[in-house]
Structure 1
């Protein structure tokens, strides 16, 4: 299994630097991003892979599912895969997701994001079925 690279937050003040460095696991970012995405009106859920689906069936909450993070040229690039609710204006909902994620990541970690790419992989209708 591929191992994820760690992200680091460097403190700005000299007093904080003397205490050491703060390391932030990529899974923490994924959870922050997943929760922020689920809070946007018009998003039904994030879409994960087979493994996260099985884990959820077994009762484990997977807040980071459907989220991929990567560092490109020292900037955080985020890809979010989600399912929109039927009847929503998808470009507006996607723009709201981008804004919410950027705000959440910055306020919780002080990391400025480079790109936030929203991939709408399906639509959930009122009868709770997903069209992909």
Structure 2
């Protein structure tokens, strides 16, 4: 069973290495953009698989480096999909949500000039 786990960890490492190398190669050849979801997904999955392989072999500095790489990829994916901007917009109070619009002007002067007088809002 232990040999099977070791083989699985080694295979995960090879797949992860190929994934990150493919991502770098595709960006270098300008096939994909560095801010594309495909590039970030390849980096994310590659780093995760390399991290699993490193952890199985006790290579803790490599585990830490790949964990950071995973975090960078996750943040880039979230940012690329506009999730961060959407959350900021949702959390930022908007004036029209806080108070009703107010009609600005002096009705008696508008009436004296023959202009229509707006009814108060609210």
TM-score interval, normalised by the smaller of the two chains: under 0.3
**Could you say which structure has the higher helix fraction?**
2
Name which one, 1 or 2, has greater alpha-carbon Rg: 2
TM (normalized to structure 1)?
0.24
Greater relative contact order (Cα < 8 A, sep 6+): 1
